Amino acid sequence: MAALPKKLLRVALIVSVLGGLYLLALERHAERDRMRAAAVELTPGCKAKLAGYALAPGDVYSSPYVRRMSNAWITARGYSAEDVRAIERGCNIFDDLQGHLAQDASERWYARRFVRGSHTTCDHCHQSIGDKQDAAGNRLVGSNSMAASWVMADMYDRFTGLLLPHELRQMQCYINSSNGFKPNAADDLMRDVTAYSRFLSAALDMKIGNHYLEQGIAEIPASATLKRGDDYVRGAYLFKEKCAGCHGPQGLGIVVDGKAVYPAVAGPNAYSMDSRMNFAMVNSVMPGFICRNMPPGAEGSLENQDCRDIAYYLGTLPRAAGDRQGPLVAAWQQLMMTVMPPLTRYAESLVGNRPLHDAD
Amino acid sequence: MNALAAALPQILPALRGNLLVGLTLAVVTLPQAIAFSTTLAGLPPHFGIYAAIWGVLFTALLNPSRVFSGGPNTTMSAAVGITLLPVAPQYGTDYIGYALTLILLAGLIQLLFALIRPLGRMLDLISEPIIDGMICGIGLFLVFKSLTTFAGLPVNTEVEWPLWIAWHSFLAVLEFGNLYAIQIGLITLVASLVARQFDALRKWAILIGVAAGTSYSAYLGSTVGLENTMVEQIGNLGPVGFVFPSLPVFNQEALPNIISILPGAVTLALLGLFQTVAAMRRMSRKIGAFTDSRKGIFSDAVSNCLLPLLSSLPTCASFNRMWLVYSMGGNSRVTSALSAFFLLLMVLFLAGVIAIIPMPAMAAIIMLLGVNMIKWEDIRPHLRDRREAVVFLASFLSVLFLDLFGAVVVGSILAIAYSKWEQANPKVSLRGNVLKIRGNIYYGSLPVIESTYHQAIARVDNLVIDFSDCYYIDPEGLRWLAAAKAGHNVGFVDRRAGPDRRAQAEALDRRDGEERRSAEADARRDRRQGEERRENLRRRTRDRRQRSEF
């Protein structure tokens, strides 16, 4: 008879552990529900952007942008209060993924944990909160527009030929910058960012299935230069001259009060080795980004070859390994990221402030 | 017909014990088959189902082992998906063609392993702690892998470090998993666990769990509505018929792609064979039987050459289903054949019932299988010996941090290194003028022997080397012995040559003090008896020296 109480005890133990986990799940679900129901505190950038597109709950939606640019009056199905909150949350994530501008940084806990380091936010690459325009309001070619990306959702990926839902394309961004795991495709994070991108495409009146030139980065392949070859030594020189003022001498970014004022382009806080921004991975994307967007205020001042050289130099700086490269590469990169900055600083202190190249 | 009628009384009792095991096996295999083909291999679900029917049947017919159970496999399915990702879009016609070619190539490579004996023997170098480490790792992996399906969430198909993914899948389940799915999964788990506690219901536990989960899911469907619960079900298998012939792609346009998937084919073949050989050996020992691994390799190879003609995933041993058959006490040849038969019947006639089985219930069952694979009684013996513990832990952690292949490589390197270290460190002791060597005399152990030997000849005049506990001397060792004999005039003792060596060895062990005298007597006899042998040795060494001078 001693066996029966023992069995009962075992069953009771298992059931109570499973029941405890279920109660924990109920509690966490309630937390998510509270988050979905709570009013959203917008960042200044998002406030301006969404007000400009007149986002509000209602039965119909009509974009002021389309009215202004084309004098057309187009109405679309409106957004519920819940939709509006999702779009606002998505915009906040885009503008300020790390929660630097939020009242409480833990507000973005469900997004921040999938991204490596304390600098990265979507806005760094998808500039102007995923919707870059010139002063007249014209959208810019190759500006990584999220609206143009959404309308190409569920199209065949041109690299792999696979049917690529927007969620999975978004996942590739987390792979590029993530710290070892990426969100589940059903996470609120994915839904909110998708909701925001989708709203942008409605506000700009972009048509689903069309390819717009705003999508992606206008790449600069070697064929767009005089083909004298990429040179990371020259890239280092240019970086010192043009970029180091903001991004720091070794591209580690500038942080004030725990907030990244200028993001890192190397080291543990920057994009990983698996990213398409990494010159060693795809050698035409980063040059394109630099030529289009850098330095701020003087965009377009760099030659194509300059951008390629700078991107090549960035590719030689130590950065975190990608998720698919395995633990050995990750450990090696960690070592490099720890050892190289002080070594480089020491080596440069020997040279002093003399330029790296003597002007012959 | 009469012969069959006569044989029936003998066949029926054997069948009766295995019917339930076969049915359970069929029910357990079905969701795995569907999940493996759609989420891992990127192929339509009927590929997994045909692997669970024809793959299981072929291996049951060809493999004489009583514990072997084949069918679709996690790592092989994942290998198919990973290899073909850059070749063609998944689920497409091209993709399916290349998948069939890949499986056929893997089958042909496995056939090479079956035909070339030393290649097959290489697979035997996987030791028991490696296999047990792999089993525990796969068990945990199955639990993690099922978490998302358990909560009705999409599955992450990317290959990454499984532990991180597992932790975040767990958080995802807690934070935004489908609560209806979680309820169904929990009810399945609890029903199955409670049923296990009663001996009469123990064998039915899995079926009871699935039935409880399915009934609750049906109840939810009628009260809340399937459109609100959004719980995924196995779905309609109507289009799956009896047999679906197919042909691998092989033409001139496809040739570059076929060449590019050759390394993938080698990996696929090895992954299958590793698991087959390891699982067969482990489980055979559990029931105290032995089956030549070559037969397993052969049956896998032939099956994998035939399966691409039947629209099927590749087959190899399945640890979790073999555990199931073992723990339920079935004979796997009979149960596998029965399970294939049941599965065929189920797919043909019970498609409507199968269709409403919820996926969370299936995930719960796979989790249970995973937990059952981790058995403390199997782990404990490995933890007693430090070397085995290290190999076990290395293999276990490699499954979790690298992959199955990595576990085999890391574990094998450690195990081989340990055994080589053992061989390279013979026990050398000097008692009186007797230098006793226990172990091998070969190029690796000679430095260890030499260090004591040179101390000995400096101290002792008439040294005697006793190598009666040596079981292997390589040519280099022979040359060294000959040189020692010629150079320092040492004597040799090899009690294996004497007529009463057992008695003498016992006497030697008993009387430590008389060691020296006995050894001298041995040395005298050795000199007398082995004169001719030594002469030969000397002549050979001389000959070799002369030859090398040319």
- Residue A62 domain flag: yes
Considering the domain architecture, whether residues A268 and A237 belong to the same structural domain is answered as yes
The per-residue pLDDT for B550 is 40
Chain A closest-CA separation from residue B471 CA (Å): 41
Chain B closest-CA separation from residue A8 CA (Å): 8
> Is the CB of residue A12 less than 8 Å away from at least one CB of chain B?
no
> Is the CB of residue A9 less than 8 Å away from at least one CB of chain B?
no
What is the Cα gyration radius of chain A?
24
- Residue A358 domain flag: no
- Residue A182 domain flag: yes
3-state helix vs strand vs coil in chain B, percent to 5: 75, 5, 20
Q: Is the peptide bond before A249 cis (omega within 30 degrees of 0)?
A: no
Other Cβ atoms less than 10 A from the Cβ of B36: the count is 28
Contact residues on chain B for A272, CB-CB shorter than 8 A = none
> Is the CB of residue B174 less than 8 Å away from at least one CB of chain A?
yes
DSSP A69-134: HH----EEE-B-HHHHHHHHHHHHHHH-TT-TTSSSGGGGHHHHTTS-TTT--GGGTSHHHH--B-
Query: Which residue among B86, B154, B194 places its CB closest to the CB of A184?
Result: B154
- Residue A106 domain flag: yes
Q: Do B85 and A160 touch (CB under 8 A)?
A: yes
Considering the domain architecture, whether residues A178 and A290 belong to the same structural domain is answered as no
- Residue A312 domain flag: yes
Chain A closest-CA separation from residue B202 CA (Å): 13
Strands B434-441 vs B464-473: parallel, antiparallel or unpaired: parallel
Q: Do B165 and A327 touch (CB under 8 A)?
A: no
pTM score above 0.80: no
- Residue A302 domain flag: yes
Q: What whole-number distance in Å separates Cα of residue B42 and Cα of residue B304?
A: 18
Considering the domain architecture, whether residues A104 and A247 belong to the same structural domain is answered as no
- Residue A9 domain flag: no
Q: Do A323 and B154 touch (CB under 8 A)?
A: no
Q: How many CB pairs under 8 A join A and B?
A: 84
Decide: B336 and B70 in contact? Cβ < 8 Å. yes
Longest dimension (CA), chain A: 97
Query: Which residue among A7, A25, A163 places its CB closest to the CB of B177?
Result: A25
Chain A closest-CA separation from residue B200 CA (Å): 14
Decide: B307 and B314 in contact? Cβ < 8 Å. yes
Residue A267 per-residue DSSP state: B
Which residues fall within 8 angstroms of residue B225, CB to CB, at 6 or more apart? none
**Among residues B280, B285, B277, B408, which one has the least CA distance to residue B332?**
B280
- Residue A289 domain flag: yes
Q: Do B164 and A180 touch (CB under 8 A)?
A: yes
Domain that holds residue A284: 222-348
Query: Which residue among A181, A188, A326 places its CB closest to the CB of B168?
Result: A181
Considering the domain architecture, whether residues A249 and A190 belong to the same structural domain is answered as no
Considering the domain architecture, whether residues A274 and A310 belong to the same structural domain is answered as yes
Interface of A with B in 188-227 (CB under 8 A): 188
Considering the domain architecture, whether residues A116 and A262 belong to the same structural domain is answered as no
> Is the CB of residue A357 less than 8 Å away from at least one CB of chain B?
no
Interface of B with A in 517-546 (CB under 8 A): none
Considering the domain architecture, whether residues A253 and A180 belong to the same structural domain is answered as no
Q: Is the ipTM here above 0.90?
A: no
Contact residues on chain A for B197, CB-CB shorter than 8 A = 7, 10-11
The per-residue pLDDT for B29 is 85
Which residues fall within 8 angstroms of residue A175, CB to CB, at 6 or more apart? A182, A274, A322, A323, A324, B158
What is the Cα gyration radius of chain B?
30
Chain B closest-CA separation from residue A113 CA (Å): 10
Query: Which residue among A18, A28, A326 places its CB closest to the CB of B175?
Result: A28
The per-residue pLDDT for A112 is 87
> Is the CB of residue B189 less than 8 Å away from at least one CB of chain A?
yes
Phi, psi of B466 (to 5 degrees): -105, 105
Tell me which of A184, A187, A190 to substitute to probe the interface with B (most B C-beta atoms closer than 10 Å): A184
Q: Do A14 and B193 touch (CB under 8 A)?
A: yes
State how far the alpha carbon of A344 is from the alpha carbons of A232, A235, A280, A329, B142, in Å. Answer: 16, 16, 21, 21, 46
Contact residues on chain B for A9, CB-CB shorter than 8 A = none
Considering the domain architecture, whether residues A104 and A131 belong to the same structural domain is answered as yes
Question: In whole angstroms, what separates CA B346 from the centre of its chain?
Answer: 30
Considering the domain architecture, whether residues A270 and A175 belong to the same structural domain is answered as no
| Domains in chain B, CATH or no CATH each | 15-416 (no CATH), 425-549 (3.30.750)
Decide: B342 and B22 in contact? Cβ < 8 Å. yes
CATH number at A238 reads 1.10.760.10
> Is the CB of residue B61 less than 8 Å away from at least one CB of chain A?
no
Considering the domain architecture, whether residues A60 and A197 belong to the same structural domain is answered as yes
Residue A179 per-residue DSSP state: S
Nearest residue of B to residue A324, measured between CA atoms: B160
Question: Which residue in the block uniquely carries the two structure tokens 């050459």?
Answer: B305
Which residues in chain A come in under a pLDDT of 50? Answer: 358-360
Nearest residue of A to residue B174, measured between CA atoms: A25
Other Cβ atoms less than 10 A from the Cβ of A257: the count is 6
Q: How many domains, chain A?
A: 2
State how far the alpha carbon of A280 is from the alpha carbons of A122, A251, A274, in Å. Answer: 21, 17, 9
Considering the domain architecture, whether residues A242 and A321 belong to the same structural domain is answered as yes
Contact residues on chain A for B148, CB-CB shorter than 8 A = 184
> Is the CB of residue A300 less than 8 Å away from at least one CB of chain B?
no
Contact residues on chain B for A171, CB-CB shorter than 8 A = 158
Contact residues on chain B for A180, CB-CB shorter than 8 A = 160-161, 164
The per-residue pLDDT for A337 is 94
Considering the domain architecture, whether residues A63 and A187 belong to the same structural domain is answered as yes
> Is the CB of residue A14 less than 8 Å away from at least one CB of chain B?
yes
The per-residue pLDDT for B104 is 96
CATH number at A110 reads 1.10.760
Residue B40 per-residue DSSP state: I
The per-residue pLDDT for B238 is 66
The per-residue pLDDT for B549 is 42
| pLDDT tens for the 550 residues of chain B, in order | 566 566 666 666 667 778 888 888 888 888 778 877 876 787 888 899 999 999 999 999 998 888 888 999 877 887 788 778 778 777 778 889 999 999 999 999 999 999 998 888 888 877 878 878 887 887 888 788 788 889 988 776 554 566 777 888 899 999 999 999 999 999 999 999 888 888 777 777 888 898 999 999 999 999 988 888 888 887 777 677 778 888 898 888 889 889 988 888 887 898 888 889 888 888 888 888 888 888 999 999 999 999 999 999 999 998 878 888 888 887 878 889 999 999 988 888 888 887 888 889 988 988 887 888 788 888 898 899 888 898 899 888 888 877 666 777 787 788 788 888 888 888 888 888 888 888 888 898 999 888 888 888 888 888 888 878 888 888 998 898 888 888 877 888 776 555 555 566 666 666 655 555 666 677 677 667 767 766 776 666 665 555 444 4
Decide: B325 and B66 in contact? Cβ < 8 Å. no
Let me know how long chain A is: 360
Strands A155-156 vs A163-164: parallel, antiparallel or unpaired: antiparallel
Give the three-state DSSP class for A11: helix
The per-residue pLDDT for B228 is 87
**Among residues B293, B282, B291, which one has the least CA distance to residue B379?**
B282
